[in-house]
Amino acid sequence: MSPLADLLNLDLSDTKKIIAEYIWIGGSGMDIRSKGRTLPGPVSDPTKLPKWNYDGSSTNQAAGDDSEVILYPQAIFKDPFRKGNNILVMCDAYTPAGDPIPTNNRNKAVKIFDHANVKAEEPWFGIEQEYTLLKKDVKWPLGWPLGGFPGPQGPYYCSVGADKAFGRDIVDAHYKACLYAGLNIGGANAEVMPGQWEFQISPIVGIGAGDQLWVARYILERITEICGVIVSFDPKPIEGDWNGAAAHTNFSTKSMRKDGGLDLINKAIEKLEVKHKQHIAAYGEGNERRLTGKHETADINVFSWGVADRGASVRVGRDTEREGKGYFEDRRPSSNMDPYLVTSLIAETTILG
């Protein structure tokens, strides 16, 4: 190993100290930020972690003359990069007076998930996060000819082979790192557009879905940083006859998972139709470029649903139809959506009405 690799792999167990990497979301709503802090020993309870601060004027979240923003630790995961007792800490952000800053969507989501009626229904979420791997210097998809295009879509979905699957080492590294971290990652696969991949976080109850998806995104950003590749969450990274990128969100409640739950699913879908515009507004920036009615999407202006229909706004699975209970898939959220917003809005609309 090189001297640098030797240092990166130093065993710090004799020091008894650990490194906690505090993670938060910046002002754009998609810029993941982090910084490390030394702690005297292992911690497994986020309430035992110290609050911390950062310069909000450098993240577009505070004015320069009053720039301090406070990080509140909310969830802890094992650190797959430093290993040992070192941890990743998902945080949200507050003013020094203790008020959530305007971009703190986690705090808004917690209020919905803490509602007695929502808690009683134990809402489960499964989020299918699609993303595109880009060459760093030219920002063109991995595996694509420089300045040109590959063959048309068809052979790339769930593909195997050097001429069809591009970036599998990154995908596998991310998969294993998420498992090590303790995330409930359900799987991963190559997507329809070459250079595009997907992982799933599922099933997770309530606010945990947002926490885990953000940490999974953080881990992916770190791995692509190491590899000198860019990960894009743009919902339509390449214009033309190419699939966009989504974050399809699967949802069920305790009542939907019981016998007769299909009737409740149908009623929930009716509620989603009434609030279609409100949901679209919260489902990601640039989503109108993806939701065109083509490439396995519904038109952004028209709500639709169907059984096994990937061209609908909401899809009900064949298994759910056959068993009369289960879950449904909201196919409208884009790859750059905020999972705190999307999950809490679905719960609010379908459970609280």
Gap between the Cα atoms of 119 and 213, Å rounded = 20
Question: Is residue 178 within 8 Å of residue 138, measured between CB atoms?
Answer: no
Domains 3-103 and 116-352 share a fold: no
pLDDT mean over 64-76: 96
Gap between the Cα atoms of 190 and 158, Å rounded = 5
Q: What percent of the chain is modeled with pLDDT above 90? A: 96
Instruction: Reply yes or no on whether the pLDDT at 1 is more than 80.
Output: no
Distances (CA, A) of 233 to 177, 221, 238, 312: 19, 11, 12, 22
What pTM did the predictor assign?
0.98
- What does pLDDT average to over the chain? 97
Instruction: Reply yes or no on whether the pLDDT at 351 is more than 90.
Output: yes
- Which string of DSSP letters, residue by residue, matches 148-189? S--SPSSS-TT--STTT---HHHHHHHHHHHHHHT--EEEEE
Instruction: Reply yes or no on whether the pLDDT at 335 is more than 90.
Output: yes
For residue 300, the SS3 value is coil
- Is 14 or 329 the better-scoring residue by pLDDT? 329
Query: pLDDT category, 147, cuts 50, 70, 90?
Result: confident
Q: Does CATH number 1.10.150.20 belong to domain 116-352?
A: no
Digit-coded pLDDT (tens) for 196-244: 999 999 899 999 999 999 999 999 999 999 999 999 999 999 999 999 9
The tokens 């885990």 sit on which residue?
212
Q: What is the pLDDT of residue 13?
A: 84
Q: What is the pLDDT of residue 324?
A: 98
Lowest mean pLDDT, pick from 3-17, 88-102, 135-149? 3-17
Lateral strand order in the sheet of 87-94: 32-39, 18-25, 87-94, 68-78, 52-55
Locate the domains of the chain by residue range. 3-103, 116-352
Q: What is the pLDDT of residue 203?
A: 94
Q: What is the pLDDT of residue 96?
A: 97
Instruction: Reply yes or no on whether the pLDDT at 332 is more than 90.
Output: yes
Pick from 213, 216, 201, 220: nearest CA to 133: 220
pLDDT mean over 296-307: 97
Instruction: Reply yes or no on whether the pLDDT at 12 is more than 90.
Output: no
Q: Domain 3-103 class?
A: alpha beta
